[in-house]
Amino acid sequence: MAEEIFQSGFIPSDSDFRQFNIYGNIPGLDMVQIENGFVYHTEYDVIDVIPRESLQNSGDNILSLVRGLVNATELHDTEAHKGGHAVFFDFLGIYFIHYSETTGIILNLTVSGAALIFVFVSMWRIAAVSHVSISHVVRWFILVLIIQVISFGFGLALPIVVSYVFEDLGLSLTYYSSPLLVIGLYVCPSLIGLSLPITIYYSLQGNDKISTAFHLQLALHAQAVILALLTTGLTLFGLRTTYVLVIPLIFYVLSLALNLLTTLHDRGYAWTGFAMASQLIPFLHSSYLIYFFVRTIIPMCARSGSASDQDVYIAFLGAVGTVLSFGFLIPLINTFRRASLVIFCLLATTALSIYLASSTQIGFPFRPRTNGQRVAYLQVRNMFYEYDGTLSKDESGYLFNFQDRREETTFLEAKVNLTGLVSIKSNCDKYMMCGMPLYDYRYVQNRLQSKWLPRSEPIVPPGLTTLEVLNKTRLNPTTVRFEFNLTGPSHMSVFIKPYEDVQISNWSFLRSYLDSPPAAPLAYHIYFTYGIDSSPLNFFLEFTKANGDFKVPMFQLAVSGHYIGYEGDAQSEKFASSFPSYAILAQWPALYQRYIF
């Protein structure tokens, strides 16, 4: 499941190894520590926060992996062992289960088919015991199935509705420092959605030909049919993670088979014992699995950029976990005399959680040291040079790339002076790459949510970033080559954007990037970094123009130098010191120079 989620891009994280995989075609395995992701890539990310036992466990795993690889027969004949992907998962960290993708497909479809067969056998038995026709039972089952589908939908939708309401109120990430709020904000609404429609139905239905006990069985059968259809569809779609649906389904099929064989199926509520017992393992597995992902993703929610509403993902995970864990159990509250009391308790828990999240300090996301708010901004000096070489614009200020949905609201509440803070969105329509030294792809992705705080005193970078034109050569009547030399700090970017009638036909960078240009209105972005070797970056660009007129502006080229590790001038240091104690700053001086050639 983790593999498919990471490959889908759902989790906003990646590995430094991907470069070797993409450009070197070298396979690799990521082994990560997920505990306490709140300090990841912060000043508190130190060796002491990693348990020694965890390091030992990683070493043991790596050693076993290396021994397994060097003794693997597959390495000697890789062509003979192309078996596709595998399905693999653990149970509570105790047992590891794996089988081939083909086995998974057969298992999924077999269990789905068995579920449909046993549900039909059960309905036939209900008809026989109740002395009604099978068509009569089927009609009532279809009605119950519709109710159960509505319950299924409500169970998934209500937590998401809560997340959107909190988003509209500006109360995102209330669970960030208090993860237990996830239960009240998302799990309880999901349980309400699952239980309310079916409970209302059983309080109103007046079929005296089929007993209430049999009606409850029909509700569980409906849940089984929904999972069977989903399992079949997702298996055919190719999703290996479908095993999470198969586990509760296969145990329910086993309990139904036992109830039919022992005739407990026909004896009032006697069948509920096997039904509840059969869901113990699925409940433990589903809740453990979702707990793992929620615990992993919550720390990521405050570093995913303000463009993404991470609350929806947490709400959806909580809803999916609730539906999987309680799908076969929640209808059984109708065996109680007052099922509505359970729903009222869930409503009360949700109401209390909403109050704590919205009106108390418990719901404030950030805490000093342990659950800090990441504050990413650059001390920027922007200089725009026109085609004739004149300097048309020279501005200084702070470029904020907010990491979470709360953006600057928490800093305004903490009395940080942000007077004059404006969005750069309008600049993105006028200037190449918003006319800003966007540091990396995260800054690019979040550019429309970025904001600019101007300052009157110019920012003086601690070093030079120099672009030199070495040569301009006409290769043929329609092509010209520019050669450049770039010197500066260890982290620099080059932005290139030709005008409409000009095309970049060749350059000294990766050809694959040139052939797959970024989506409009983005420019080409070359990110350059070095370690010990500080020699200049020499590169060339070749442009093709149909009319061969190269005496007019052809392209924009901008360079930015990022002086990471420098605190900045006195005014920048004073501004940085005004942030609250829970703020974790990532900021440095940056120089942006735009040219037109």
44-58, 206-220, 230-244: range with lowest mean pLDDT: 206-220
pLDDT of residue 438: 94
163 and 63 belong to one structural domain = no
> At 586, which amino acid appears?
A
- 434 band by pLDDT with thresholds 50, 70 and 90: very high
Q: What is the pLDDT averaged over residues 28-40?
A: 84
Classify residue 4: in a domain, yes or no.
Answer: no
pLDDT of residue 477: 92
Give φ, ψ of 48 to 5 degrees: -70, -20
As a dihedral over the C-alpha atoms of residue 508, residue 509, residue 511, residue 516, rounded to 10 degrees, the angle is -130
pLDDT of residue 554: 94
pLDDT of residue 10: 65
pLDDT digits (tens, 9 = 90+) for 548-559: 888 899 999 999
Report the mean per-residue pLDDT for the chain: 91
- 424 band by pLDDT with thresholds 50, 70 and 90: very high
Report how far residue 216's alpha carbon sits from residue 244's, in angstroms, rounded to the nearest whole number: 24
Cβ-Cβ contacts under 8 Å for 145 (sequence gap 6 or more): 222, 225, 226
- 437 band by pLDDT with thresholds 50, 70 and 90: very high
Classify residue 137: in a domain, yes or no.
Answer: yes
DSSP collapsed to 3 states, 540-576: EEEEEECCCCCCCCCEEEEEEEECCCCCCCHHHHHHH
pLDDT digits (tens, 9 = 90+) for 225-242: 999 999 999 999 989 999
Classify residue 449: in a domain, yes or no.
Answer: yes
333 and 442 belong to one structural domain = no
466 and 593 belong to one structural domain = yes
pLDDT digits (tens, 9 = 90+) for 360-398: 999 999 999 999 999 999 999 999 999 999 999 999 999
Does the pLDDT of residue 78 top 70, yes or no?
no
330 and 378 belong to one structural domain = no
547 and 469 belong to one structural domain = yes
Does the pLDDT of residue 130 top 70, yes or no?
yes
Does the pLDDT of residue 287 top 70, yes or no?
yes
Q: What is the pLDDT averaged over residues 17-23?
A: 80
Report how far residue 469's alpha carbon sits from residue 464's, in angstroms, rounded to the nearest whole number: 16
Element (H, E) at 10: none
| Domain termination site, one of 25, 54, 82 | 82
Classify residue 422: in a domain, yes or no.
Answer: yes
Classify residue 391: in a domain, yes or no.
Answer: yes
Q: What is the pLDDT averaged over residues 93-107?
A: 91
Domain that holds residue 400: 373-597
Q: What is the pLDDT averaged over residues 71-88?
A: 76
132-136, 422-426, 574-578: range with lowest mean pLDDT: 132-136
Classify residue 590: in a domain, yes or no.
Answer: yes
- 30 band by pLDDT with thresholds 50, 70 and 90: confident
Q: What is the pLDDT averaged over residues 434-449?
A: 91
pLDDT digits (tens, 9 = 90+) for 144-182: 999 999 999 999 999 999 999 999 999 999 999 999 999
Cβ proximity of 416 and 451 under 8 Å: no
392 and 490 belong to one structural domain = yes
Does the pLDDT of residue 480 top 90, yes or no?
yes
358 and 384 belong to one structural domain = no
Q: What is the pLDDT averaged over residues 87-109?
A: 91
pLDDT of residue 145: 93
64 and 113 belong to one structural domain = no
Cα 484 to Cα 188, 241, 473, 538, 541: the distances in Å are 61, 50, 12, 6, 8
538 and 518 belong to one structural domain = yes
Q: What is the pLDDT averaged over residues 418-446?
A: 92
Does the pLDDT of residue 12 top 60, yes or no?
no
Does the pLDDT of residue 451 top 60, yes or no?
yes
Q: What is the pLDDT averaged over residues 533-555?
A: 92
415 and 469 belong to one structural domain = yes
- How far is Cα of residue 207 from the mean position of the Cα atoms in its chain? 47
Q: Across 283-400, where does the E strand assignment appear? A: 373-385, 391-400
pLDDT digits (tens, 9 = 90+) for 389-413: 999 999 999 999 999 999 999 999 9
Cα 352 to Cα 158, 162, 185, 231, 235: the distances in Å are 16, 14, 9, 36, 40
Classify residue 9: in a domain, yes or no.
Answer: no
pLDDT of residue 11: 61
Side-chain half-sphere of 577: how many Cα atoms within 13 Å?
8
508 exposed, middle or buried (CB, 10 Å; 0-12, 13-18, 19+)? middle
| Domain termination site, one of 339, 363, 387 | 363
Does the pLDDT of residue 14 top 80, yes or no?
no
pLDDT digits (tens, 9 = 90+) for 297-350: 899 899 888 888 889 999 999 999 999 999 999 999 888 888 889 999 999 999
Cβ proximity of 580 and 411 under 8 Å: yes
Classify residue 76: in a domain, yes or no.
Answer: yes
pLDDT of residue 82: 63
191 and 42 belong to one structural domain = no
Report how far residue 412's alpha carbon sits from residue 363's, in angstroms, rounded to the nearest whole number: 17
pLDDT of residue 21: 80
pLDDT of residue 260: 93
99-108, 197-206, 444-453, 580-589: range with lowest mean pLDDT: 197-206
Number of H helices, E strands in the chain: 18, 14
Does the pLDDT of residue 206 top 70, yes or no?
no
Q: What is the pLDDT averaged over residues 56-81?
A: 84
> At 335, which amino acid appears?
T
Does the pLDDT of residue 75 top 80, yes or no?
no
pTM, two decimal places: 0.85
- Name the domain count of the chain: 3
- 210 band by pLDDT with thresholds 50, 70 and 90: confident
412 and 497 belong to one structural domain = yes
